[in-house]
Amino acid sequence: MEVVFAVGIFGLCGLGIASAFLQSRRIAESNVFETTALTVAQGFLEQIKAMDYAVIEAAVADPTNNKLPTLGIAHDGLGGTNVVPEPIAVGQKNAVGIFEGTTHRGILIDLQRDKFGKATIPRYMKMWVTPTLTDLLAIENRRCIEVSLLFEWEARDLAGNAVPRQRTVRIVSSNVPTY
């Protein structure tokens, strides 16, 4: 009787450890997705910050005809990458990352390889950015523009369902040369 009771307790402990392991893996994957989304958003923000002030000013004046000339990265399916133009429209939700034709794949998260080193199965995270530009001349009487970048990505919850997440990052671009 004591042995049966001990085996039952041992089994419950084993299930608890297995459950904790699976839970920590899902949380770690969610953290990878969020960190990747933040890194991509910061990359776009740094590109905008490095743009000539006149380009940003033109996008504030006429956002429908002046996209921000940013760059993105595409992969060639073999593990290599290429820098490609990825202009983003101000005030609009822009899908970013890899496109196959008109299909939005998203940001490449992982590229699994077979035993021969050949890239086989890519894993993507869908991501969107919405830049908002606010001219602070009228508000603060300063020649600067606040750049707010809302970024959204498709993460997985603990049950494995797709869940949209979003965050915002901001900078101020001024009409002062930076080095």
* Token couple for 66: 């002046």
**DSSP string covering 69-131:** --EEEEE-SSS-EEEEE--B-TTS-EEESEEETTEEEEEEEEEEE-TTS-EEEEEEE-EEEEE
Number of Cβ atoms within 10 Å of the Cβ of 53: 16
In tens digits, the chain (179 residues) has pLDDT values of 788 888 888 788 888 887 777 777 778 888 889 999 999 999 999 999 989 888 998 998 898 889 999 988 776 655 567 788 889 999 999 988 877 766 777 888 877 777 777 767 778 889 999 999 998 887 767 788 999 999 999 987 767 788 899 999 999 888 876 65
Q: What is the pTM of this model?
A: 0.80
Domain ranges of the chain: 2-174
